[in-house]
Amino acid sequence: MRRSTKVRAVTATVVFGVCAVAGRLFMTRYPTAVWPESPVVAASRGSLLPNPRGYKWEANQRTLLLALHVGCPYCDSSMGFYERLSALERSRAIRAHVLAAFPEPAAEIRRTLAGRLSGVQTLERVDLRALRVVGTPTVMLVDSQGQVLSVWIGQLSSSEQAALAAAAAMQ
Contact 168, 62 (CB under 8 A): yes
Indicate whether 11 pLDDT > 80: no
Domain ranges of the chain: 3-30, 57-169
Number of H helices, E strands in the chain: 5, 7
Percent of the chain with pLDDT over 90: 64
Sheet strands (E) in the chain:
33-34, 62-67, 97-101, 121-123, 135-136, 138-143, 148-153
Reported as a single tens digit per residue, the pLDDT across 96-135 is 999 999 999 999 999 888 888 888 999 999 999 999 999 9
4-11's contacts with Cβ under 8 Å and 24+ in sequence apart are none
Domain 57-169 fold: Glutaredoxin (3.40.30)
Mean pLDDT of 57-68: 96
Mean pLDDT of 74-99: 94
Indicate whether 9 pLDDT > 60: yes
